[in-house]
Amino acid sequence: MAAVLIVEDEDVLLDMVAALIEDIGHRPLLATNGREGLAVLQAEPEPPLLIISDVMMPLMNGIAFAKAVKADPRYQHVPIVLMSAAGHASPEGLSEHFVPKPFELEELEQLINQYADGTISRGAH
């Protein structure tokens, strides 16, 4: 069962996305900010299938988190989906996908499934 890391400081959204990931057969890894996200990555024996991260969070925001992930050779191949209510895409090369908030869970489910089955490959936007 592939893991999907969710980094989100809003508890309700974190729980909803975690439930969705479980429903479609993956194992959710949870963090509430970028620092926690990096710690969760380090604790896992295998890199996750996908990372879904909010942009605006305390302690370490999603942009700084994505930069740290992409700078680590163990994780630079892991696709990152950034999401934000601010509605701007991330700086080039930091994420493979951007999802504006609010979003439909079905939209996120489709995206996760496309990464899982290889329909979207690394580096696709």
pLDDT (0 to 100) of residue 93? 66
Report pTM: 0.90
Cβ pair 70, 90 in contact under 8 A: no
Structural domain total, the chain: 1
Mean pLDDT of each 10-residue bin along the chain, 125 residues long: 94 95 96 97 95 92 94 93 76 75 88 87 48
* 121 occurs within a structural domain: no
pLDDT for the residue 1: 79
Q: Which domain holds residue 98?
A: 3-116
Candidates 95, 89, 90; CA nearest to 123 is: 95
Q: Is residue 12 part of a domain?
A: yes
Q: Is residue 123 part of a domain?
A: no
Q: What is the pLDDT of residue 89?
A: 59
Q: How far apart are CA 112 and CA 26, in angstroms?
A: 10
- Inside any domain, residue 110: yes
We report the CATH number of the domain holding residue 78 as 3.40.50.2300
Residue from 50, 48, 43, 52 nearest 14 by CA: 52
